[in-house]
Amino acid sequence: MLKQRVITGLLLAVVVFSAVLLLPSFWFGLAVLAVCLGGAWEWARLCGLESGGQRGLYVTGVAALAGLGAFTAFALDQIWPVVLGVLWWGGVLVVLAFYRPAGREGRILWRRYGLGSAGVLTLVPAFIALVWLHQVQPALVLYLILLTATADSAAYFAGRRFGRHKLAPRISPGKTREGLLGALIAIVPFGLLGAWYFGVIPALWFFFVCLCLVTALVSVAGDLFESVLKREAGAKDSGALLPGHGGILDRIDSLTAAAPVFLMGLLWGVIMAR
């Protein structure tokens, strides 16, 4: 299993880095959209939409809203689809803090309509934010991917070594507060490196590092929210497309949360022009 996981991970890294660095933004956007729609297919199954027709209808709806959001953002120069994503993840933090498993009577409605709507709010703003970042500078996309990977890896190793207190025992018993702290500590030098690499003016270095910390924190929320989705569905993984890694959502859960927040922080701090 470990060998399979490593091989799949290396292949994914090659494909992702090649797509980010070599594809023009239009084709990169189509590739990201394809990944998001694959995630929407898995999301539909986890929401209880068992038939292919139901899942296809859900994916079609996500595709239509993604197209509308992209037109609004790139043709009309409106930022509100990404703002909606940021507000959504702010709300998710509250939901995670008070999460309780749904009762038997309310579970079907919660899964189909509550979590179904959540899929749109998760996937569409992330798609727009990633394409927006790529249009400005592809390196920003790679940096964001590496930022979420750094936070995830640091949380894992710090949690294994020092973990004592559960972060969200009702959602993901394996995550610890010590792991989260380790992730945030690891992000500080990564943020400083990013500020230097992207030529951020010294007066904004502190802001940029704080943005990276907030982005890492929200990426953990993305991971936890997907755990809620799988827990409600009684599933271990979102799918089986990626050997040793599960499904598409299992690989992009942190990134879908991080992308809108990172983009909005760059725009709000005037580190990146619209």
- pLDDT at position 257 is 96
Range of the domain at 127: 2-268
Q: Is the pLDDT of residue 244 over 90?
A: no
Does residue 273 lie within any of the structural domains?
no
Which of 151, 144, 150 has the alpha carbon at shortest distance from 198? 144
| Contact (Cβ atoms closer than 8 angstroms) between residue 209 and residue 197 | no
The C-alpha atoms of residue 109 and residue 142 are separated, in whole angstroms, by 38
Q: How many domains does the chain have?
A: 1
Q: How far is CA 117 from CA 44, 68, 109, 249, in A?
A: 10, 16, 11, 16
- pLDDT at position 228 is 86
Q: How far is CA 97 from CA 79, 171, 256, in A?
A: 28, 10, 19
**What pTM did the predictor assign?**
0.93
The residues near 7 (Cβ < 8 Å, ≥ 6 apart) are 243, 244
- pLDDT at position 213 is 97
Does residue 176 lie within any of the structural domains?
yes
The C-alpha atoms of residue 124 and residue 176 are separated, in whole angstroms, by 30
Q: How far is CA 168 from CA 72, 90, 180, 215, 254, in A?
A: 37, 17, 11, 19, 16
Pull the structure tokens for residue 50. Answer: 């068992």
Does residue 274 lie within any of the structural domains?
no
Across the chain, what does the average pLDDT equal?
89
Question: Which of 88-126 are b and which e, b meaning 16 or more Cβ less than 10 Å from the residue's Cβ?
Answer: bbeebeeebeebeebeeeeeeebbbeebbebbbbbbbbb
The residues near 77 (Cβ < 8 Å, ≥ 6 apart) are 274
| Contact (Cβ atoms closer than 8 angstroms) between residue 199 and residue 208 | no
Average pLDDT over residues 32-56: 91
| Contact (Cβ atoms closer than 8 angstroms) between residue 147 and residue 190 | yes
186-236 pLDDT, tens digit per residue, is 999 999 999 999 999 999 999 999 999 999 999 999 999 998 888 877 777
Does residue 191 lie within any of the structural domains?
yes
90-103 pLDDT, tens digit per residue, is 999 988 888 877 66
Does residue 99 lie within any of the structural domains?
yes
Pull the structure tokens for residue 201. Answer: 């003016």
157-171 pLDDT, tens digit per residue, is 998 888 888 988 888
92-144 pLDDT, tens digit per residue, is 998 888 887 766 555 665 666 678 899 999 999 999 999 999 999 999 999 99
